[in-house]
Structure 1
C-alpha cells in the first residue's frame, strides 16, 4: 500500500533497476510492489512495469516509468548523513561507480540522474557549531571538494 506521503521519481522505463540498486546500496531500503500497466501508454505497453513501490533509508518512494520526457535536476536530492569516511566512500563509490557522476561539495548523481548529497556528520557539525571561524574554514575546505574528505574537514575545523 502506498504511504500517504510518497516521493514519486520519474524514470525512463528503468524504475525497477533503480529501486533494486537503492535497496542493495542503502540501509533500511527495499523494493516493494511492482505494478504493471493495465493498457498501452505513451512510454510503454500493456503489461510493462508502470510503477515500483520502494523505500530508500525508510523514505517511501514510487518509481514511475514515464519515459524520456522528464529529467531529474539538482532541485531534488537525497541527503545521506554518513558517520565516517568509510561509509562516505562506500556510498559515494557505489553511486559514482555504477554509472553515476561526481559533482561538487559532496553531491553526486546516480546513473538515472537522481542527485545525492553524501554528507558526513562532521561536516554538518562544523557548519552548525558555535565557532563561526571554524565553520568558515570547514566550508571553504568543502568548496574545494567533490567527495567529502572527513580528515580534511576536521583539520580545517582545527585551523
Structure 2
C-alpha cells in the first residue's frame, strides 16, 4: 500500500488533467471520480501513473496555481522517451530550462534521461562539469549533445 499520495488542487479542470495524464503515461488509469450530484462536475478523483497514485480536487481558483517548488521528475530510458514526454506534456504549456516544463495546467515536470545522471557522476570531473554546463544551456535535454560536451572536455 502506498503510504503517501500527492494531492493536486485544480481550479475546475481536474477531469481534463486526469484524462491527459492517463493518455500520456502507458501504465496509467483513472480510479475513483467523485462528482457533485449525479452527472455533476467533478469534485475529486484519483489516478495512477507508473504505479504511483495521485489524488486531485477541483477546489476553485484560490490555490490552483502550481509553482516549480513542486515538480514531478520522469526518469527516461533514452532520447526517444525524453522526446515523447517532452512533446506530450509541453503541448499547450511552456518550456523552461534544464529539462523542466510546465504542462497546460501549470504543473511542473522534469523530463530527464538516465544518461544525464551517469554523466554527472563521471569520475572525470572535467567530463561531469562539461555535461552540467551543456545541460544549463538546454530546454529539452538532448543526450547526444550532453555526451558530445563531456567527450569534448575529456574523451571517455
TM over 0.5: yes
Please give the per-residue CA displacement for 1:11-32, whole angstroms capped at 9, x wherever unaligned: 1111111111111101322111
Residue 89 in 1 paired to residue 88 in 2? no
Q: How many residues align?
A: 150
**1:3 Cα offset (Å):** 4.9
- Please report the TM-score for the alignment, with normalisation by the length of structure 1: 0.88
Whole-Å separation in 2 of the counterparts to 1:3 and 1:16: 22
Please give the per-residue CA displacement for 1:77-111, whole angstroms capped at 9, x wherever unaligned: 110011111111111011112x1110000000000
Whole-Å separation in 1 of the counterparts to 2:124 and 2:22: 38
Residue 107 in 1 paired to residue 107 in 2? no
Give the secondary-structure state (helix, strand or coil) at the position aligned to 2:61.
coil
Q: Which runs of 4+ in 1 moved over 3 A?
A: none
**1:63 Cα offset (Å):** 1.0
Which residue is equivalent to 1:43?
none
Relative to structure 1, the CA distance from residue 3 to residue 121 in structure 2 (aligned partners, 3 Å threshold; closer, same or farther) is: closer
Whole-Å separation in 2 of the counterparts to 1:120 and 1:14: 30
Which residue is equivalent to 1:72?
66
Whole-Å separation in 1 of the counterparts to 2:28 and 2:96: 24
Give the secondary-structure state (helix, strand or coil) at the position aligned to 1:31.
strand
Which residue is equivalent to 2:149?
156
Residue 131 in 1 paired to residue 124 in 2? yes
Whole-Å separation in 2 of the counterparts to 1:130 and 1:107: 26
Structure 2 unaligned spans of 5+: none
